[in-house]
Amino acid sequence: MLLDISDVHVSFPASRGTDREVKVLDGVSLHVGQGEFVAVLGPSGSGKTTLFRLAGGLLRPVRGSIRLNGADITGKPGHIGYMPQQPALLPWRTVLENSLLAAEIAGSERQTAERQAREWLQRAGLAGYEHAYPDELSGGMQQRVSFVRALLGPQLLLGLDEPFGALDAMTRLEMQLWLGDLWQESGRSVLLVTHSIEEALLLADRIYVLSAKPTRVIAEMEVPWERPRREELLADPAFARLKLQLYQAMRNQAGGG
């Protein structure tokens, strides 16, 4: 087991000036195996970003633990890579310099990191843009730089937080297929959180479904398709069936807690 999130509970103050607390995560357990692509599917506000703050050590659970490769990393930052909801590129750094940021923070050797960065930027379709600045790129291209940056960090596990939410539908589908291909080449393990059923089905090996808060895991599904996955999958009746099944799992509990 690479990542093992076990029975985590998190509450936040309901509002300023009250002692009342809102329970957000109510005993969530999930795991990611070596080389596995796992998606967590949950409605907005169910605590998906909170899961990353826990795994990233920025937040401590009231109860429960987070282990990476068997070691307790609860409350310990720096052990998982993270690609945020917005690309969050530094505007004064070029594409190449932005993509080197995670490696730089980790203290990786510059020459090796730069060679890898150039390789991955090329795979990401960004050859020729190494010295461009973020504001010269489209939204999709910025997300690719953000992904390459996360990939170049030393962490074994990459957390992707609704990475394509801000893109238009066409670009989003292209980026999802692109990400699936690149992930296959990278050999990394990925935990993706999303509210998009299609995104989870297109990308993941396995899907966890979260309830609305107080949040629990309400379903788990193995995704059967081989890789690489192509857009034709969208027209596959089996795809439609699993999509409906996930939709019903999410709907049946909405407002039930």
Ligand X SMILES: Nc1ncnc2c1ncn2[C@@H]1O[C@H](COP(=O)(O)OP(=O)(O)O)[C@@H](O)[C@H]1O
Q: From the list Mg ion, ligand X, none, which binds 186 (C-beta under 5 to 8 Å, kind-based)? A: none
Contacting ligand X within 15-34 (CB under 6 A):
24
Closer residue to ligand X (CB): 44 or 111: 44
Q: From the list ligand X, Mg ion, none, which binds 42 (C-beta under 5 to 8 Å, kind-based)? A: ligand X
CA 128 – CA 211 distance, rounded (Å): 44
Should residue 254 be labelled a site residue for ligand X when binding is judged by CB under 6 A? no
Which of 25, 27, 28, 29 lies closest to 11 in space, CA to CA?
25
* Pair 158, 192: CB distance under 8 Å: no
Could you tell me which residues come within 8 angstroms of residue 251 by beta carbon, excluding any fewer than 6 positions away?
none
Torsion of CA 49, 53, 54, 59, to 10 degrees: -130
Residue 166 CB, shortest distance to ligand X, in Å, is 14
Closer residue to ligand X (CB): 38 or 137: 38
Q: From the list Mg ion, ligand X, none, which binds 45 (C-beta under 5 to 8 Å, kind-based)? A: ligand X
Largest CA distance in the chain: 55
Stretch that binds ligand X, among 33-41, 42-50, 119-127, 244-252 (CB under 6 A): 42-50
Should residue 42 be labelled a site residue for ligand X when binding is judged by CB under 6 A? yes
Q: From the list ligand X, Mg ion, none, which binds 87 (C-beta under 5 to 8 Å, kind-based)? A: none
Query: What is the x/- site pattern for Mg ion, positions 31-70, by CB under 5 A?
Result: -----------------xx---------------------
* Pair 43, 103: CB distance under 8 Å: no
Closer residue to ligand X (CB): 52 or 239: 52
Could you tell me which residues come within 8 angstroms of residue 89 by beta carbon, excluding any fewer than 6 positions away?
98, 134, 142, 145, 146, 149
Which residues, listed in sequence order, are joined to residue 65 by a DSSP beta bridge?
A: 6
How many binding residues for ligand X (CB under 6 A)?
Answer: 10
Should residue 11 be labelled a site residue for ligand X when binding is judged by CB under 6 A? no
- Residue with structure tokens 């998009």? 196
Which chain residues interact with ligand X by CB under 6 A?
A: 12, 24, 42, 44-50
